[in-house]
A and B are shown apart, each in its own frame.
Chain A
């Protein structure tokens, strides 16, 4: 959908490019692979695209949505995208075990939004409450849950883990006691179904990792460093504006980025407000602080994924 703002933005960039034919980085293509289908998790990028911040920064950004069969890391290995939003556990595991040439250059979520969601009438407030209960976990996240359980002295066998097939109905109906999902999202759905939800973050019980880490290959980092810095700058601007008041932007994307996703704008508003505290950092959005990296690595170390600080490159953020 082309609205007036992006149209003007594109037109302005076009004029700029034609009047300055030798400006090499005018609208250089760059492709990003997101981690999931369009929802508020990516609102900051949508805002920056909508407002032409990437174009202003000289980028012609192509945005690829994700999905259950899309492994974001695969897309950058295959060269179909320059950067990807990933979960740091899989990324660092791939670097350690398969020698994958990845560098983490930023982190969208300072605290991983993944947590254990349950109904208030059958509340699960701590890992200990999970003992003897049935917990639905997407197969790709079992690694994270088992890590958190281990850190809290619980054997995986003490919790009945079943697959989570994207639909919260079994939780609402009491077929399962809890599910693992984004705490920024599912509680809203549960409220819609007429129940109260309660949740806790894996982060608050020792599994202190980032999420939606910004990952590039070493080759892209070497060849497109300036573009990546420009992307970080424009994306940060988008997130700052989006989260300044989380209720402003999601409705504006109702006919563009959020059209026909099957989700409601109210849901995106809830999501947007809930994610703000998980993204904020004194050093700005996408921050990779010494403390944050240390926490991430030590939590992963507990489950046998032994990474090191070389896997992170904080120098791009320093230039932003």
Chain B
């Protein structure tokens, strides 16, 4: 059965590739702007001399970011698992780390850091949340009987942690690392694209964009996909070797919460305030530590002054509000569209697993292919209107939502499905009566995952194609050296993502 499934998946992938080749050869899409796979491979071979230096630089930045991000994440995860109050206190920071849109952060990093630092930081930010969550969950799920044994023999808190909890958490942490590894690669490439280094796949992409040669752009995307895929597969293999088992891609939709242990009202209010304040304190501290001059590096206080107190505050507010009015409605529509697409896919994966196993490789490419390389093609097919924004938003939102929903659907108890079947219900009735209602809780989880990504998708579309809203304001502000606005847009987009997530 498994072999048959694998074969079907391979066959569907081959059919898709063949279709792509024919469409590309005949120039059917966008007047030939979609190159056939054979052209992409030939071009890769011709460019083979260029790649080693770029791949090496991207690997250096992503490995450094991966290591730093994960060390911090595991340490934080252990701390949070041992101390629920700490987890509650850092909740604001954790959500911000999860929700912050990389394209708003990349310019900020380029402003305040130098050399490899922006690349490493963006890569580390991409892994922190995934690994931290996996660590907290892994430790929380440790076998309590084994903990009792260690305690009964007089083991200290530290011994319990070391002998039982941490060991028990290893599978979960490894699963986290697997999902985190491609994030590190993508973060590094994004920072390379903007940051003005000499080497790196992102730099190569930027230089190649101006040449109007789609086969080169797809080749770079393919290599990026390959690195991300290999890093994922590497950790999958490692966990299989270590643990003898492997799990499917899983994502944690929820930021772990420390259980509220009641306590007096003033203490809870104090904790809530501290949770909200901490991200701002961290922001302020990082600016002070970086030693970047006040003109370019703005603290939370500076941004507040810029937006509310300075003589130019009124103009700045008007610009920001106008941009928000353009960005927010389409973000909601995009979120709904992304969820609907993910939901349809999840249902389809239940009805026709073969179709999905053929579709998954394509879906994975859409997740690792740098969007900036695809934009010209998308613009040619879809124009620069709402449909383009929606498609970009769907493409960045559907994948995590789909994985969450598919996980939910897979957990529907078989006995619940068997009941309608036994009464002769059709597949569709079964789906309607059992599967869809059972997946609703996961739909809510998926919604939380989707909102920050929808904002990211819309900002990317605005930046690259439509020239409206927050994404455009961010870029135009750079042309005016309007540092206050650059920071304001970044801060507002992070705050919005956090608020939506809540």
* Interface set of A (CB-CB < 8 Å, partner B): 37-39, 64-71, 73-75, 77-80, 90, 93-94, 98, 100, 138-143, 161-163, 165-170, 172-173, 175, 185-186, 189-190, 192-193, 259-264, 267
Contacts and interface: CB of A to CB of B under 8 A. Distances in A.
A98 B481 CA distance: 9
Interface string B177-221: 000000000000000011111110001111111111010110000
Contacts of B194: 67-70
Chain B contact surface mostly? helix
Given A77-B293, A260-B50, A67 B197 contact: yes
Contacts, number: 170
B211 A141 contact: no
Given A65-B196, A67-B206, A165 B464 contact: yes
Interface in B137-183: none
A74 B198 CA distance: 19
B475 interface: yes
B295 A142 contact: no
A163 B479 CA distance: 13
Interface stretch (B316-324, B375-383, B420-428): B375-383
Nearest to A98: B295
Interface string B369-390: 0001001110110011000000
A249 to B, nearest CB: 19
Question: Which interface residue of A65, A162, A166, A190 has the most chain B CB atoms within 10 A?
Answer: A166
Contacts of A37: 196, 203, 206-207
B315 to A, nearest CB: 12
B387 to A, nearest CB: 14
A263 B210 contact: yes
A263 B464 CA distance: 21
Given A162-B384, A169-B376, A262-B204, A185 B210 contact: yes
A170 B376 contact: yes
B480 interface: yes
A261 B467 contact: no
Nearest to A37: B207
A139 B467 contact: yes
B326 interface: no
Select the residue from B112, B206, B479 with max chain A CB neighbours within 10 A.
B479
B479 A100 contact: no
Given A37-B206, A167-B210, A71 B478 contact: yes
A136 to B, nearest CB: 9
A167 B296 contact: no
B429 interface: no
Interface of B: 30-31, 33, 49-50, 53-54, 106-107, 110-112, 114, 193-199, 203-212, 214, 216-217, 292-293, 295-296, 372, 375-377, 379-380, 383-384, 462-467, 472, 475-476, 478-481, 483
Contacts of A169: 33, 212, 214, 376-377, 380
Given A192-B211, A263-B211, A68 B481 contact: no
Most chain A CB inside 10 Å of its own CB: which residue of B112, B207, B465, B481: B481
Contacts of B197: 65, 67
A141 B242 CA distance: 54
Contacts of A189: 210-212
Nearest to A69: B194
A262 B216 contact: yes
13 contacts: A77-B293, A77-B295, A80-B114, A98-B481, A139-B476, A143-B479, A175-B383, A189-B211, A189-B212, A192-B212, A259-B53, A261-B207, A264-B211
Contacts of B110: 67, 69-71, 74
A275 B199 CA distance: 26
Contacts of A138: 475
